[in-house]
Amino acid sequence: KINYKRYIIISIILVLIFGIVIFVYKYWKKNRKETVAKKHVKATDIKSAYEIAIESLEKLNQENLVALKKEKIHYLRLTEIIKTYFSSIFHNKIMEMTSHELYDHVLNKMDEQTFKKLVKLMEFCDLVKFAKYHPEEEENQETQARALEIIERTRPQEKIKTIISEDNEQKGVGG
């Protein structure tokens, strides 16, 4: 008599070992590609929070969601852009905060005029998102301009100084 049970058990064990080896190889290969890709990122490929926010606002405008009667989605994304930007420049988990928690967090980190504009912007976004308010086209344009102004006014100063000094070097101005 041949003991088939023993051969079946050995076959199952070999198939499991083979499967584990394939899984480990694919996992290693995937992680290796990601690591190599990260090493090839140039300094020029890295964008500041400011650049990302401006690009995101431009993309949001190009999507034209308001014209498609998708105001709620538009204002949800606008809120995300602002919160993501503040999360980056203030190094905090602002995305998880309510509007009022955001106000408490940024109150002393910007001038009073910018803070008032932020409150007005966030309250308007909340009105559209939660009260199903349908803004007029003029209100949409004002909101976009306000968001852009808030981002411009809260842009980290180190970046601005770097750009100014680079401009001066190109023009041949000292300092």
* CA 164 and chain centroid, separation: 26
So what's the pLDDT on residue 103?
Answer: 85
pLDDT of 96-153, one tens digit each? Answer: 888 888 888 888 888 889 889 999 999 998 888 888 888 888 888 898 899 999 998 8
Cα–Cα distance between 74 and 89 in angstroms, integer? 23
Q: Which two tokens stand for residue 102?
A: 């955001």
Sign of CA dihedral 153, 156, 158, 160: negative
So what's the pLDDT on residue 12?
Answer: 94
Between 29-43, 85-99, 157-171, the lowest mean confidence (pLDDT) is in: 157-171
Predicted model pTM = 0.62
Checking 44-48 for CB contacts under 8 A at 24+ apart, the result is: 48/156, 48/159
pLDDT band at 4 (very low <50, low <70, confident <90, very high): confident
pLDDT band at 160 (very low <50, low <70, confident <90, very high): very low
